[in-house]
Amino acid sequence: MKNYIIPHEWHIIEEGFDPHLNKISESIFSLGNGRMGQRANFEEAYSGETLQGNYVAGVYYPDKTRVGWWKNGYPEYFAKVLNAANWIGIDIKIDDEVLDIAQCAVTNFKRVLNMHDGYLERSFTARLKNGKEVSITATRLCSIVDKEAGAIKYAITPLNFSGDITVTPYIDGDISNADSNYDEKFWEHVAHAEDGNDVYLTLRTKKTGFEVCTGSRFTISGSSAKVINTLREKYVASTTTVQVQQGQQTTVYKYAANVSSQNYAPANLPDACKKVIAEVSAKGFDTMLAEQAAAWHKKWEHSDIVIEGDVKAQQGIRFNIFQLSQTYTGSDDRLNIGPKGFTGEKYGGSTYWDTEAYCVPFYLGTAPQQVTKQLLIYRWKQLDKAIENAAKLGFDKGAALYPMVTMNGEECHNEWEITFEEIHRNGAIAYAIFNYIRFTGDKDYLNDYGLEVLIGIARFWKQRVNWSAAKNQYVMLGVTGPNEYENNVNNNWYTSMLACWCMDYAAECIAYVKATEPDKYMDLVIKTAFNETEETTYWKKISNNMYLGEDKAKGIFLQQDNFLDKEIIPVHDLPAADRPLNQKWSWDRILRSCYIKQADVLQGLYFFSDKFDLDTLRRNYEFYEPLTVHESSLSPCIHAILAAKLGMEEDAYNFYLRTSRLDLDDYNNDTEDGCHITSMAGTWMTVVEGFAGMTVSNDQLHFKPFLPKQWKGYSFNILFRGALINIKVDANGSHLTTDKACEVFVSGKAYKLTTGQTILAE
Q: Which is nearer to its own copies, 297 or 541 (CB)?
A: 541
Q: Which is nearer to its own copies, 188 or 415 (CB)?
A: 415
Q: Is 548 in the site for its own copies (CB under 8 A)?
A: no
> Could you write out the three-class secondary structure of 205-265?
ECCCCCEEEEEEEEEECCCCCCEEEEEECCEEEEEEEEEECCCCCEEEEEEEEEEECCCCC
Residue range at the interface with its own copies (CB under 8 A); choices 47-55, 350-358, 562-570, 609-617: 562-570
In angstroms and rounded to an integer, the radius of gyration of the C-alpha atoms of the chain is 27
Look at strands 163-172 and 90-94 and give their pairing. antiparallel
Look at strands 742-746 and 700-703 and give their pairing. parallel
**Interface with its own copies (CB under 8 A), residue from 105, 222, 228, 587:** 587
Q: Which of residues 341-370 bind its own copies (CB under 8 A)?
A: none
Q: Which of residues 107-126 bind its own copies (CB under 8 A)?
A: none
Site string for its own copies, 566-585 (x = CB under 8 A): xxx-------------xxxx
Q: Is 73 in the site for its own copies (CB under 8 A)?
A: yes
Look at strands 163-172 and 235-244 and give their pairing. antiparallel
Whether the Cβ atoms of residue 461 and residue 386 lie closer than 8 Å to each other = no
Minimum CB distance to its own copies, residue 587 (Å) = 4
Whether the Cβ atoms of residue 689 and residue 727 lie closer than 8 Å to each other = no
Rounded to an integer, what distance in angstroms lies between the CA atom of residue 135 and that of residue 125? 4
Q: Which of 484, 486, 625, 672 is catalytic?
A: 484
Q: Which is nearer to its own copies, 183 or 613 (CB)?
A: 183
Site string for its own copies, 19-58 (x = CB under 8 A): ----------------------------------------
Rounded to an integer, what distance in angstroms lies between the CA atom of residue 428 and that of residue 379? 11
Residue range at the interface with its own copies (CB under 8 A); choices 140-148, 231-239, 276-284, 587-595: 587-595
Q: Is 586 in the site for its own copies (CB under 8 A)?
A: yes
Rounded to an integer, what distance in angstroms lies between the CA atom of residue 369 and that of residue 377? 12
Active site residue 484: yes
Q: Which is nearer to its own copies, 203 or 412 (CB)?
A: 412
Q: Which of residues 373-432 bind its own copies (CB under 8 A)?
A: 392-394, 414-417, 420-421
Q: Is 96 in the site for its own copies (CB under 8 A)?
A: no
**Interface with its own copies (CB under 8 A), residue from 490, 616, 695, 747:** 490
> Could you write out the three-class secondary structure of 280-343?
HHHHCHHHHHHHHHHHHHHHHHHHCEEEECCHHHHHHHHHHHHHHHHHCCCCCCCCCCCCCCCC
Q: Is 467 in the site for its own copies (CB under 8 A)?
A: yes
Q: Is 69 in the site for its own copies (CB under 8 A)?
A: yes
Rounded to an integer, what distance in angstroms lies between the CA atom of residue 748 and that of residue 702? 7
Q: Which is nearer to its own copies, 367 or 546 (CB)?
A: 546
Minimum CB distance to its own copies, residue 592 (Å) = 4
Q: Is 555 in the site for its own copies (CB under 8 A)?
A: no
Q: How far is residue 462 from each of residues 417, 524, 551, measured CA to CA in Å?
A: 20, 19, 26
Q: Is 471 in the site for its own copies (CB under 8 A)?
A: yes
Q: Is 592 in the site for its own copies (CB under 8 A)?
A: yes
Q: Which is nearer to its own copies, 479 or 742 (CB)?
A: 479
Number of residues that bind its own copies (CB under 8 A): 48
Omega of the bond prior to 580 within 30 degrees of 0, cis?
yes
> In 3-state terms, what secondary structure has residue 91?
strand
Whether the Cβ atoms of residue 428 and residue 436 lie closer than 8 Å to each other = no
Cβ neighbours of residue 93 closer than 8 Å, sequence gap 6 or more: 99, 164, 165, 166, 167, 168
Give the H or E element holding residue 503. Answer: helix 493-516
Question: By the criterion CB under 8 A, which residues form the site for its own copies?
Answer: 65-69, 71-73, 392-394, 414-417, 420-421, 466-471, 475, 477-478, 487-490, 561-562, 564-568, 582-592
Which residues have a catalytic role annotated? 484
